């Protein structure tokens, strides 16, 4: 199976950080992608959380319990 990142959440930045921290605590590495214009630091307060496709099933189970 080819490893690739899959999106498991899209929404508020604060919630995305909470999800990432929760997954990290449970041994699943997560990446947050935020929409920000670098030169102006303008943000629309949205973020996406990505994990490896091989961790998706386990991550969704963990998040369902939280």
The domain that holds 43 is classified in CATH as 3.30.70.1530
The sign one gets for the Cα dihedral 27, 30, 22, 62 is negative
Determine the longest span between alpha carbons in the chain, in angstroms.
Answer: 40
Both tokens assigned to 44: 């629309």
Both tokens assigned to 17: 């950080």
pLDDT tens digits for range 8-24? 999 999 999 999 999 99
Instruction: Tell me which H or E stretch contains 34.
Output: strand 30-37
Q: Indicate the pLDDT class of residue 34, thresholds 50, 70 and 90.
A: confident
**Whether the Cβ atoms of residue 33 and residue 13 lie closer than 8 Å to each other:** no
Overall number of domains in the chain:
1
**What global pTM score does this model have?**
0.82
Q: Which domain holds residue 12?
A: 5-65
**Whether the Cβ atoms of residue 3 and residue 50 lie closer than 8 Å to each other:** no
């Amino acid at each position: 199976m080819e490893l690739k990142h899959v999106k498991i959440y899209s929404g508020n930045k604060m919630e995305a950080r909470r999800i990432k921290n929760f997954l990290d605590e449970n041994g699943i590495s997560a990446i947050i992608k935020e929409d920000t214009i670098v030169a102006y630091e303008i943000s629309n307060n949205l973020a996406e959380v990505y994990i490896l496709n091989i961790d998706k099933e386990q991550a969704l189970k963990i998040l369902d319990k939280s």
